[in-house]
Amino acid sequence: MRRGWLGLLLALLVAAVLVFGSVATSLAAIPDDPDFDPVTRRFGRTRSITVEVYDRGNPGGSPPEDNAFTDFIKEGMLRDHNVRVTFVPIPRWTEVEVINARLAAGDAPDVAVTYSYPTIQTYANMGGVIDLAPYLEKYKDVLPNLWELLGDTNIYWNRDPNTGRVWAIEALLFQNKRINTFVREDWLKKLGLPEPRTLEEFENMLRAFRDNAELLLGPEMAHEMIPFSISQDVGWRADHLLMSFVPESLTDKEMFIYGFDDRHFLFPGYKEGVRKLNQWYHEGLIWPDFALYPPGDQTEDNNMKKGVVGAFIHNWDYPYRNGEDSIHVGLQRLVGPEAAFIAVEPFPNDAGIYRKFLSAPIDRKVFFPITNREPLASLLYLDWISKLENRRHLQIGWEGINHQVLPDGAVQLLQATGRYIMNSPQNIDYTLTINGLDLGDPEITAKSIALNYPGVDARYIERAYRITDNEARYGKNFQVGEIKAEEGMQTVLTQKRDNLLARAIVAPPDQFDRVWDEGFADYLRSGGQAIINERLQKYEAIYGE
């Protein structure tokens, strides 16, 4: 069934390329547009483009394609460049599948975005993506804000060292934060437990939560106790624990060769981290229903708000997001003002380092499908949203509605309603070229970050912000060209990884090794080993052994 579906998509893409193929043939020599004035940076005739925006399905949120912020962008682009913008909502949690389908059908947005570079590469190889390199070179002088924000590093991050092609530019990860481990601060106090600083202390804490369920939750709710909560996405949701089993001796070369999986699934030592989760599961320390709910489902969040979860690992600020609908506010509303999650560091590695593996300063990948008939207008869009005053407004909104300015210049967010609601933190779904608050002044930005969580004491944010990248190790950019073995493999390998992790965690302990080894071998046979081999060969061809 999957192959038939993919075959249909590929057939549709071939048809789209035949229809729009004239765009590709013009890339070698981009003609001047007499309708465009490079001094005013405006078109004489109104141009129209479509832009992707994630639909996160937020309860009570604003329509992602039609709100005060989309109006701000539309009005600004029409005023400054005479470009009409239409937003196209794409479901956040199935974005790869939906973008795949739209690319194949020839109706992808002109400005498209995804976290999956292999998806872009797959369609680029079939002629379905515009090579941005000649456009970036020709129009560099009329894109000052884009170049100032991203620089050569992010704009040329994906440049092929052999062909010079650029299929996508990388957004800037301005605050390179990732994950934190959270525990119930009030439960620690109630049980007289120290803040866990080792794996042993952490799992003893989980056992204490389990064994004192009646004290912590009361007799009627004790059966709902969840000492440690994870989800289907085990690789993300157990990251700090799993990475503590990775030896400190891991080299940059190994990080590149095995790092195509963004959950670090192939790193040495990973299996032993999963074995620990298997142990916890059979001790009754892990949410037994963790594998039943897909990304975006609110069941787990509701458990946290209800107050039955003792610890979890998630995005660095996860319990504090979404204002009045945050886990933090909901928990305090139901349980009391003393109830709160705090970030902790309990998982040192073999060298005693609380190592976090963080990405290079890149985020989403922005690209133009071959069906884009307005590449210059689309680049001007990226330039417009990269301008400091524009992205600043998108990140903090209107004073008195979305934020207030304090005497020291710090910006504090307010709880907005209706069309002024932000559906994503700092409106990252509109600031496609940057992820992370940037107010133009590092000191003001730092002060403001801690204040940008309505209803949350700043001390929780300051602590989480400090811990999440403490003793971090960052990814590096090795430009070795296309890894052909990765083409079309992300979805199938991601599914195999996630399924194996779930099966391995729930497997009887005496069957853990068999389940893991068989599943891991299947992952390698299904394309993982081919990717490893090609990455190794191309790395050594350019950088040596």
HEC sequence for 384-417: HHHCHHHHHHHHHCCECCCEEECCCCCEEECCCC
Contact between residue 64 and residue 87 where contact means Cβ atoms under 8 Å apart:
yes
For 259, the token pair is 């790092």
What CATH code is carried by the domain that includes residue 125? 3.40.190.10
Q: Do both 254 and 200 map to the same domain?
A: yes
450 assigned to some structural domain: no
Other Cβ atoms less than 10 A from the Cβ of 476: the count is 10
Domain count, the chain: 2
Q: Give the domain extent around 118.
A: 2-173+365-392
Q: Do both 112 and 126 map to the same domain?
A: yes
Q: Do both 378 and 298 map to the same domain?
A: no
Q: Angle 375-386/68-81 helices, nearest 10 degrees?
A: 120
Residue whose tokens read 């989980």: 206
94 assigned to some structural domain: yes
Contact between residue 89 and residue 53 where contact means Cβ atoms under 8 Å apart:
yes
Q: What phi, psi does 215 have (nearest 5°)?
A: -65, -40
Burial 73-86 (b: 16+ CB within 10 A, else e): bbebbeebbbbebe
Q: What is the pLDDT of residue 491?
A: 87
Q: Do both 295 and 219 map to the same domain?
A: yes
449 assigned to some structural domain: no
d(CA 212, CA 107): 56
Q: Mark which of 346, 373, 392 sits at the end of a domain.
A: 392
503 assigned to some structural domain: yes
d(CA 66, CA 62): 8
Per-residue confidence of the chain (545 residues) as pLDDT tens digits?
333 444 444 444 444 443 444 344 344 568 899 999 999 999 999 999 999 999 998 888 899 999 999 999 999 999 999 999 999 999 998 888 898 899 889 999 999 999 988 889 988 999 999 999 999 999 999 999 999 999 999 999 999 988 999 999 999 999 889 999 999 999 999 999 999 999 999 999 999 999 999 999 999 999 999 999 999 999 999 999 999 999 999 999 999 999 999 999 999 999 999 999 999 999 999 999 999 988 788 999 999 999 999 999 999 999 999 878 899 999 999 999 999 999 999 999 999 999 999 988 999 999 999 999 999 999 999 999 999 999 999 999 999 999 999 999 999 989 899 999 999 989 999 999 999 999 999 899 988 988 888 889 989 998 999 999 999 999 889 989 889 999 889 889 999 999 999 999 999 999 999 999 999 999 999 999 999 999 999 999 999 88
Q: Do both 276 and 236 map to the same domain?
A: yes
Q: Do both 125 and 27 map to the same domain?
A: yes
Q: Do both 315 and 166 map to the same domain?
A: no
Q: Do both 231 and 299 map to the same domain?
A: yes
Q: Do both 384 and 343 map to the same domain?
A: no
Q: What is the pLDDT of residue 22?
A: 37
Contact between residue 44 and residue 82 where contact means Cβ atoms under 8 Å apart:
yes
Contact between residue 456 and residue 331 where contact means Cβ atoms under 8 Å apart:
no
440 assigned to some structural domain: no
Q: What is the pLDDT of residue 59?
A: 82
301 assigned to some structural domain: yes
